[in-house]
């Protein structure tokens, strides 16, 4: 069965602090991994995908196949990072499922 676990519903940090949003997945085969973000009153949108090895808005994500984890990290959080973050494993042949999300709150 496909399952995505984001253990923290809420993560609250101060501006400038490091942040790590955890994601563990259970998925048949080897899915591609994505993080989506939803800022207040905006649409859900793609933040980054693992394959690109990119840093978007200072965020990176490390895939650990042994632990089946795909944690999202940023060394210095900014207030504008406050949003809901969703981990999403996906295979091209299947549907797209999401974790329950982690609400990141960055305090000034």
Q: Residues in the site for another protein, rule: CB under 8 A?
A: 6, 9, 31-32, 34, 36, 43-46, 49-52, 86, 90-92, 94-101
- Virtual CA dihedral for 51, 56, 58, 62, nearest 10 degrees? -20
Report residue 97 as tokens.
């499922």
> CB 52 → another protein: shortest distance, Å?
7
Nearer to another protein, 42 or 108 (CB): 42
Say how far apart CA 98 and CA 35 lie, in whole Å. 9
Q: What is the Cα–Cα distance from 94 to 52, expressed in whole angstroms? A: 20
Minimum distance from residue 1 beta carbon to another protein (Å): 11
Q: How far is the CB of 30 from another protein (least distance, A)?
A: 8
Give the three-class secondary structure for 76: coil
Question: Which residue lies nearer to another protein by CB, 70 or 86?
Answer: 86
């Amino acid at each position: 069965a496909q399952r995505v676990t984001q253990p923290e519903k809420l993560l609250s940090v101060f501006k400038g602090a490091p942040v790590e949003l955890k994601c563990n997945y259970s998925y048949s085969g080897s899915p591609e991994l994505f993080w989506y973000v939803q800022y207040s009153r905006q649409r859900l949108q793609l933040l980054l995908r693992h394959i690109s090895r990119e840093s978007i808005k200072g965020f990176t994500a490390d895939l650990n196949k042994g632990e089946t984890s795909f944690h999202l990290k940023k060394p210095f959080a900014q207030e504008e990072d406050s949003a809901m973050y969703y981990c999403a494993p996906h295979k091209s042949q299947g549907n797209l499922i999401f974790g329950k999300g982690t609400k990141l709150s960055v305090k000034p």
